[in-house]
Amino acid sequence: MKALLNQTFQLQPQETSLVLILACLLLSNSLARQIADVVAVSGFLSVVGVNQILLVWVVDMGLTILVTALQSLIVDRCNRVRLIAWMSFVYAVLLLLLRLLFALRVPSGVSYTVLYLLAEQQLLFFPIVFWILANDLLSLAQAKRLFPLIATGNFVGQILGLGIAATAPTLLSQIGLGTEELLTFNGFIYLFACTLVATTLGKFRIRQTTRKPETAIETLTEGWEFVCEVPSFRYLMLAVIGVNICLTVFEFRFLVVTQSTFTDISSYQQFYSLFRLTLISIAFLTQGLLTSRVIASIRLKNAFLLLPIAQLLAAVGMTIMPGVTGGVGGFTLSKLTQCTVDESARKSFQSLVPEERRGRVSLFMDSYLFAIGTLIGCLLTGAIVLMGIRLNLSAYAYGYLGVAILTSGITVWSVWKMRSVYDSSLFNWRLKRRQRGASVLDKLDL
């Protein structure tokens, strides 16, 4: 059986255990995160309202920038195995404290908002540190081959989490418990992840890097300076911002059209769980069977074009079909492309960054740029919504969908420019590894 798995998924014998451990860690985080997300979104929309979600996103992005600044000071200065273990432990403690808020009957709007913000941090920071650690454990050639397979753990966790979120309210009500008990379950999931990291990953060889003494300011600006000085990363930076502007618009539109259809908390939670379960199931099959083959066949630099093109089609489709069909279909197309081909391509691309800089560059691209793009999307969408409501305009949705069309067009241009400088960027001095005597670039099919 093990030989069959190795042959099917192109695994070397010594890679099997590491791939299973890393996939299990992703599974744990995504399982807990999906449960928290479904409960938080359903509760928030029912108790507070859909338009207010834009304000929560703005607060969330501000928190993201603050926490990222703190993380960037330590991510390249400490043992990343210990870092992800401590992160898992902290999440467990926070979830149990949040369960206490529900027990103390704090107003539902406050509790669901805090839960949503915590779920967003689970989505963002655990994967960032995880993929940095995975890059330290694997070579670039291994990363291109194994990252799509490891990422299937994320999809399995999402499927399990969504299945639990969909069935838990009925099962818990039968024994006289509320859905807030799922927070306790999530806390134990992170305690398991912490234990798994502490007892297994220390056995594997992690690349050691030499780090020069740096001030806090130098540490915080390293990611920005790196991206600006490497042309391919600079154009990709603009693309990442544009992609997240569109994702924000699409998700808001999705919530608007679906919340108006499923108006009570139980029906929306059921719909939202089943929708995400379907989306993740399709993404899981795509990631496991097609993503690595697609990237290999069209080359890494061309893979970045798929998401902007998909978003352009989604924005046009939402504009032509402004109802539930267009909203759900456009969001699905964009999200499916983003969490399969684009995510794997971006993680493989970041493997080019030297180990001693990779943490800060990854944080900058996956956190700062994500936050900036989302903030811009929230502010533009919020301004259009507010103006439309005050002027009593019924078709103001076309305004923010127009923003998505324009932004996705600019993103396509940015990725096209990135392709033109991709090969020359591979020889940029900032991509030189300090501990490698000879370049490995000539040995890799990039």
Q: What is the pLDDT at residue 317?
A: 96
Mean pLDDT of the chain: 82
Q: What is the dihedral of CA 399, 404, 409, 412, to 10 degrees?
A: 170
HSE, CB side, 13 Å, CA atoms: give it for residue 319: 15
pLDDT exceeds cutoff 70 at 207: no
- In this prediction, residue 40 carries a pLDDT of 85
Name the CATH architecture for the domain at 15-202+217-427. Answer: Up-down Bundle (1.20)
Domain ranges in the chain?
15-202+217-427
Asked if residue 326 has pLDDT above 90, the reply is yes
- Residue carrying the six token digits 């154009």: 235
The overall pTM is greater than 0.85: no
- Residue 1 pLDDT greater than 50, yes or no: no
> How do residues 119-169 score in pLDDT, each as one tens digit?
887 777 788 788 778 877 777 677 767 777 888 888 788 888 888 888 877
Q: Return the pLDDT at 363.
A: 76
* Average pLDDT of the segment spanning 344-349: 85
